[in-house]
Structure 1
Amino acid sequence: MKLVIFGLTITSSWGNGHATTYRGLVRELERRGHQVTFFEREAPWYSANRDLPEPPYCRTILYNSIDDCFATFAYEIAGADWVIIGSYVPDGIEAAERVTDLKDVPVAFYDIDTPVTLANLASGTCQYLRPELIPRFQLYLSFTGGPTLREIEDRYGALAARPLYCSVDPELHYPEPKIAQRWDLGYLGTYSPDRQPPLERLFCAPARDWPKGRFVVAGPQYPAGIDWPLNTQRIEHLAPQEHRGFYCAQRFTLNVTRADMVRAGYSPSVRLFEAAACAVPVISDRWEGLESFFAPGSEILVADGPADVMRYLREVPEPRRRELGAKARARVLTSHTAAHRAAELEEYLVRAAFSY
């Protein structure tokens, strides 16, 4: 198939999780014989931090406005077998209006931020999607599964809402036993106001209670006024190729979920799969549906408060720690790689095309 994707970014991983998702997915689609053209809106914060300016597995087109994009590439867009529009795309509403007006071109919406999208739709503040556009998509692909899919169909009139969860690239994420363990607990994630309270509870509190422990937080956009514990190292940004080394230098890694995604459930994060693929034991906050991705207690550890985190850090013996990591990695490799997602997407597109 000839696929056109309008996504937030594929060229820059700075301050977002979209780029790594698109990179793995598009590469695997190309390996399956599909031809992908990726449209990315020029943005100064991405253009100044491009760690993959020319992805080798797709044609990448940077544009300045939807008008310019369609004036120059209308023929290519209209000739696609499918057009996929992602969440958080600048001018995403206008792009969706234009492509759904095209004849004989099915359109899918790929929501990498589903709970946030639905909350913003309900409040009327969503800047990249409007409710009346949803029934015009042949597919609504969602990072969130479970009951949310029925809500998208029943409340917003989606023709078919299907889960297309985040995934991991096993070519980038794998164990490196020779890397020395520098930290007892690490966390990787961009700052988010609603994620900071659980980070304070599950990360900062244990760090303060264990002065001899070694802790690290990596990710951009954290306010300068945050009072990090003295035994916590800060790293502003890590490119995707540096994630593996970062995880492998930790005894445990922490997964913290945004509030909207906790409420929705069935919302695994990219970082969760990345760490697991590196065979690093994950300590996660609790949310509905977690057990459908990893088995609590044998493949992942769940923490409801700082006491749980401290118990894992100080009481889990080394053989048990390694076993947890190995089982989590095995689960990821059998169910949650970019190749799995590309195959799932292909099946969704083929099935939906027959009913278009």
Structure 2
Amino acid sequence: MTRSLSIAFFGSSLVSSYWNGAATYYRGLLHALARRGHRITFYEPDAYERQSHRDMEDPPWARVVVYPPTEDAVFHALQEADGADIVVKASGVGVFDELLEREVLYLKCERTHVIFWDVDAPATLARVREHPEDPFRPLIPCYDLILTYGGGGPVVHGYSSFGAATCVPIYNGLDPATHFPAPPDPRFAADLSFLGNRLPDREARVEEFFLSAAQSLPEKAFLLAGSGWGDKRMPENVRYLGHLGTGDHNAFNCTARAVLNISRSSMAENGYSPATRVFEAAGAAACIITDNWEGIGEFFEPGEEILVADSGAEVAEILARLTEQEAVRVGARAFARAKKEHTYDRRALQFESLFRSGVPKGAEFAGGMP
């Protein structure tokens, strides 16, 4: 094992999944690192009503520092993080992101590695390509390491083209202590369920893969959960739950005949970007139907461990012929694969291996330019 490391992590939120899809990724990976003896401090802003929508208390395995959404508070948090072995700035903190992306680099020294951890790499790279003046662009070579939520070879190539010293995808996964088979709950009864917040690059794909399928199967029951869909026009056979706390995710995944994964546009176009919820649903032995994206077969075997659709019409076709017995069989195979290959303990080992072999330092940082 790598020596015990102190890790200062600046992210959106560890304790609230409200408008924060990365929460379970952070929890799974950081909990696994803590189990291996590393010391975690998570810095998150008090913003977007997340603290009033907590779905977990401060965990015993991490120190959580909630700071006011002010510039002074950001600098105070950075001062406190100074001296950690690893300082992480995640993408999409939501408050003073540009400031944090620049200022964490002043914490680099011989002892301290500074990492940018991108939980939305395809979108970040597209933004930087389209806007050469983007202030993050000249900072990329200065980070000692770029880690990504996924994205495979395309995001590694993309970050390398902007001068990244090292870029490594660390995929999301399963924490078997958190996501596991649960008894069905009548609140979540449906033939097909989908859980996802309403986002600009997801909405059209939800219309295509979920709402159009519901329209074509009026005899089936569809269930939608996630924030932001309240004013969306939907077929009569779609029931909307609103925000669903993580404590209900297992029952949600276990109750419907099948659950649907719909990738955001940027992730579908890039490929190699399985959503966290794919692994969580597999951990609950759910039968998963997913939209098609390159690289699915590296995680689950199509047709055996996951069902793949190229359109809403194909989702409807799969659902129309899906028996309860077949759904159980597919879910059981996904469950076995996830527990064998896709746990956060395995992801933590990957993270540790980077430091065991020695991470090269990024370019010198001098006020924002490499």
TM-score tier (shorter)? over 0.9
From 187, 198, 201, the equivalent of 2:205 is: 198
C-alpha spacing 1:69/1:199, structure 2 compared with 1 (3 Å) = closer
From 217, 239, 245, the equivalent of 1:233 is: 239
Superposition deviation, residue 355 in structure 1: 6.3
C-alpha spacing 1:144/1:72, structure 2 compared with 1 (3 Å) = closer
Do the aligned partners of 1:145 and 1:162 also contact (CA within 8 Å) in 2?
Answer: no
One-letter amino acid of the structure 1 residue matched with residue 72 of structure 2: D
Superposition deviation, residue 73 in structure 1: 5.8
Say yes or no: does 1:50 pair with 2:57. no
Superposition deviation, residue 97 in structure 1: 2.4
From 264, 274, 284, the equivalent of 2:270 is: 264
Matches within 5 A, 1:75-114: 76-89=80-93, 90-102=95-107, 103-104=109-110, 105-114=112-121
Q: How many pairs were matched up?
A: 353
Distance in 2, Cα, partners of 1:67 & 1:351: 37
176-185 or 135-144: bigger deviation: 176-185
Superposition deviation, residue 177 in structure 1: 4.9
Q: CA RMSD in A?
A: 2.1
Matches within 5 A, 1:325-340: 325-340=331-346
Superposition deviation, residue 124 in structure 1: 2.9
Distance in 1, Cα, partners of 2:73 & 2:312: 52
Q: Which position in structure 2 is the counterpart of 1:37?
A: 41
Superposition deviation, residue 66 in structure 1: 4.7
Q: Which position in structure 2 is the counterpart of 1:345?
A: 351
297-306 or 165-174: bigger deviation: 165-174
Say yes or no: does 1:119 pair with 2:123. no
Alignment gaps of 5+ in structure 2:
363-370
Alignment gaps of 5+ in structure 1:
none
TM-score, scaled to structure 2? 0.89
Distance in 1, Cα, partners of 2:246 & 2:190: 19
Distance in 2, Cα, partners of 1:72 & 1:184: 47
C-alpha spacing 1:196/1:350, structure 2 compared with 1 (3 Å) = same
Superposition deviation, residue 209 in structure 1: 2.1
Render the CA deviation track for 1:126-175: whole Å, top value 9, x for unaligned: 98x60111111111101223232332343210111001112222222212
Render the CA deviation track for 1:38-95: whole Å, top value 9, x for unaligned: 1111214212212224222111111223533434662x42221111110012223322
Identical pairs, percent:
36
Q: Which position in structure 2 is the counterpart of 1:9?
A: 13
From 222, 225, 234, the equivalent of 2:229 is: 222
Say yes or no: does 1:146 pair with 2:149. no
Distance in 2, Cα, partners of 1:47 & 1:193: 24
Distance in 1, Cα, partners of 2:75 & 2:202: 38
Superposition deviation, residue 178 in structure 1: 5.3
From 302, 305, 323, the equivalent of 1:299 is: 305
Q: Equivalent residue of 2:219, what SS? A: coil
Say yes or no: does 1:62 pair with 2:66. yes
Q: Equivalent residue of 2:286, what SS? A: coil
Q: Equivalent residue of 2:327, what SS? A: helix
Distance in 1, Cα, partners of 2:295 & 2:206: 20
4-13 or 198-207: bigger deviation: 198-207
Superposition deviation, residue 216 in structure 1: 0.3
